[in-house]
Amino acid sequence: MQIPEITIESVTTVTAFLKALNNEDFKKARRYLSDDVNFIGVMGTRDGGDNYISDMEKMKFKYDIRKIWGDEDDVSVFYDIDMGDTTLFCAGWYHLSNGKINAIKVLFDPRPLLEGKK
């Protein structure tokens, strides 16, 4: 059985990325993303660092980290995401390559968002 190595740098990178988003420092947040980052979420997907940041500038979500941990180049985060009118508990999986985030997968129960659109 192989035991993965804990990589503090990966957790630090994701934490700094989320902090930059919270501070609406989108230029700084962009530096933590690879150019070809792929985002997969419950409500859609995004490809490319510039596209992802452009969307974040419009949405201005706020992240309240409840738990964060990582091994090698993967970081998992449980957080509450304040989306303005709704706050959702979410699970995020961040994969890093060459020190930058190149894949993000976020899961949450979308019912509170969908119910608001009725």
Distance from chain centroid for Cα 57: 14
5-19, 31-45, 57-71: least confident range? 5-19
Query: How far is Cα 60 from Cα 27, in angstroms, rounded to an integer?
Result: 13
Q: Tell me: the pLDDT tens digits for 66-101? A: 999 998 899 999 999 999 889 999 999 999 999 999
Q: Tell me: the pLDDT tens digits for 50-71? A: 999 999 999 999 999 999 999 8
Q: Which domains does the chain have, with CATH numbers?
A: 8-115 (3.10.450.50)
For residue 38, how many other CB atoms are within 10 A of its CB? 16
How would DSSP label each residue in 57-102? HHH--EEEEEEEEEETTEEEEEEEEE-SS-EEEEEEEEEEETTEEE
Per-residue pLDDT, averaged over 107-113, amounts to 91
> What pLDDT is stored for residue 71 in this prediction?
85
User: Which backbone phi and psi does 23 adopt, to 5 degrees?
Assistant: -85, 0
